Every structure is written in C-alpha cells, then in structure tokens.
Amino acid sequence: SGAVAEGMTRLGWTSRPDSVHELQAAAAVGQMGLVQAWESRFQKHNLHTAQVLLTHDDLSDRKRYLNARSTLLTLLGFSVVPVVNENDTVVTDEIRFGDNDTLAALVANLIEADRLVILTDQDGLFDADPRSNPEAKLIREARASDPDIARVAGGGGLLGRGGMATKVRAAKLAARSGASTTIASGRSPQVLAELALGQGPGTTLLPDTSPMNARKQWLAGHLQMRGRVVLDAGAVRRIRDGGSSLLPVGVVDVFGQFSRGEMVACESEQGERIGCGLANYDAADARRICGKKSTEIADVLGYMNEEELIHRDNMVVFDVG
C-alpha cells in the first residue's frame, strides 16, 4: 500500500510492522501525504481533487453502492478529479479488494465509464515475455473475454508475476458495463493525452457483450461470497442456456454459512464457477431443501419464502472460460 509506505516514512519506521492495527495507523498517516501529493500536482493544472476511500462493504451494500455512485458522478459534474483508493485504515485481508486493478474496474462499473486505462511498467500485453523473448509481439487489440488472453497473462514468468493477470481480470470486470480497457506504460509523460487521441502504444481489451443493467453490475461486483452451492449438470444447462432461476432440485450440495439475501457462488460438480446470486434461504435451510422439488419446500421447512433458491433477477451468470 502506498499509504502504508508513506505513513512509515512519516513515522520514522524502518521496518514494516506485522500488527494489523499498526499497519492501519500507518495508512491513516500516509493518506495525508498522498492527498497532498495529488492535490498539489492537479492544482498546477487548475484542477481540484477529492479523496474517495472505498471498502468492499461500500459496493456490496446496495444503498451504499448507489451513494458512492452519486458522489463520484457529482464530483465529475463539478470537474473535480476523484482519487479513489481502498480504505486501508479499516479494511482487513478478509474483505480486501485485493489490488487496485480490481478496484479500478469496479469503479468503472460503478460510474459506467466508457474506458478504463491501467498504467504499468510495460508497453502492454505481449504474446510472450518480452524480457526473455526478443520475438515477443505486442497485442494491440483483443476481446477481454478471450481465454487465450488470460492464458498469456497468467502463463507464468515475469508476465504472470508482474500482475498482468490481474489486469486482464480487471478488463473482464470492466467489460460488464461495456467499458473497454487499455493497458499501457505509465513511463511516457504523454501517455494519457496520446490515448485520448487514439494514439500511443498499449493493448486494448474490448467488451463483447451488451452491458449488464445496473442491478446486475452491482451483483457481479461482489467479490466476497458467503457460501457456495453445487449444481447438477441439468441446473447448469438451464441457467446458462435458458436463463432460468436456480431451483432447490438442481442443487446437490451447500457449503458455508450464509443468511437469506447474502451472496453465494454457484458452481458445477467439476468446480467451475457458473455465477453468483442472492440466496432466498439461509445455509441451514438451503441444505435441508437441496435436491427437493419446490412443491416440497413448505413440507420440509414448515414455510416457503420463494420457490427458487436464487431467482434469475438476483443472479449473474459468468461467461464460459
């Protein structure tokens, strides 16, 4: 974290602490330095900045999600540049976004941006590691969902370790709201201006599906699953091909502890992530009715909320691959 590093410098610490509370304290101190740096740089261009600190809870709670969206859009309407970061002063590893690429993509979803630009220390995504293969070629354009792109980015070596795989995953997230993603080198002082003019190096990853509606984007943005349900082959087929809701009869197992209305992952019996959605029943009741017909729910539980375990309106189905 840049905030932690800046805080350590300001506090005179020479080694990174192990205590979560000390790390969070360092982040709180360091954020002041980061704010000063951003504001002073943008003031040279007669622009104001605003600090927006987010946690996963801000995007998983529907009301807070909409509030964050309204705040960001209002700031942009005032020609203020929002500087978004994860709130390291309160976040823990269990609820962390994981990396700024993911956070940037979720913010692109949040405001329905046309384009996400991720700056890195490389010119873009190559078909091989350019540091060890002089024949490596820059991939100028591809589909974000192309499985070959994911394999190139995560195929080991410097590319995989250097975080290119997280950037490709971020591009897939951004594509959900119809945004294209450009991965380019941040070492060029004119890179953003060149990209705005349609020039400059880099790899552009394009969306290949129509944007999800706002509610589906919110659902897809959940990174923390409270549990998971395993589907039989018939349920997988009906959800993927027919856009059906998930009925208890198609569930073969239930894992985790979750309450009604919390997000759960949907997986095939082979462990493939099919999608995710909001459960209509808590984990204990879901275990009792899995494999049962909807007409049997009331007999088993003594009540029935809905006939579906997850309604299709509260579910996002992921692309194959």
Q: Are 148 and 191 within one domain?
A: yes
* Residue 156 clears pLDDT 80, i.e. is over it: no
158 assigned to some structural domain: yes
Residue 217 lies in a domain: no
Summarize the confidence of residues 7-30 as an average pLDDT.
Answer: 91
Whole-number mean pLDDT of the chain?
A: 87
Structure tokens at 158: 């410097």
pLDDT tens for 44-82 read 999 999 999 998 878 877 778 878 888 999 999 999 999
pLDDT given at position 224: 76
> Do both 236 and 201 map to the same domain?
no
Q: Which of 167, 190, 212 is the last residue of a domain?
A: 212
Q: Domain span at residue 170?
A: 114-212
pLDDT at 307 over 50: yes
Give 73-109 pLDDT, tens digit per residue: 999 999 999 999 888 777 665 446 667 898 999 999 8
Q: Mean pLDDT throughout 281-293? A: 96
User: Which position has the higher pLDDT, 96 or 123?
Assistant: 123
Last residue of a domain, one of 63, 96, 129: 96
Domain containing 245 — which CATH number? Answer: 2.30.130.10
Among residues 183, 212, 241, the one where a domain terminates is: 212
The CATH number that applies at residue 168 is 3.40.1160.10
Say if residue 261 is in the same domain as residue 197.
no
Q: Are residues 246 and 286 in the same domain?
A: yes
For the cut 60, the answer to whether the pLDDT of residue 20 exceeds it is: yes
Q: Are residues 179 and 229 in the same domain?
A: no
Indicate whether 131 and 198 sit together in one domain: yes
Same domain, 59 and 23: yes
Q: Count of domains in the chain?
A: 3
52 and 132 in a single domain? The answer is no
Contacts for 230 with CB less than 8 Å, ≥ 6 apart: 251, 252, 253, 254, 255, 267, 268, 269
pLDDT at 216 over 80: no
- Residue 117, pLDDT > 70, answer yes
Cα distance between residue 138 and residue 127, in whole Å: 7
pLDDT number for residue 208: 78
In a domain, 109, yes or no: no
pLDDT tens-digit readout, 247-286 = 999 999 999 999 888 899 999 999 999 999 989 999 999 9
Q: Which amino acid is at 111?
A: I
Angle at which helices 62-77 and 100-111 cross, to 10°? 80
- The answer as to whether 218 is a domain residue is no
What tokens does 233 get?
A: 């082959």
* Per-residue model confidence (pLDDT) at position 310: 94
CA atoms within 13 A on the CB side of 200: 24
Note whether 92 and 118 are same-domain residues.
Answer: no
**Residue 160 token pair:** 């995989």
pLDDT, position 94 = 47
Predicted TM-score of the model (pTM): 0.69
**Average pLDDT value for residue range 210-234:** 80
80: which 2 tokens?
């203020």
Tens of pLDDT, residues 6-17: 999 999 999 998
**pLDDT score of 84:** 94
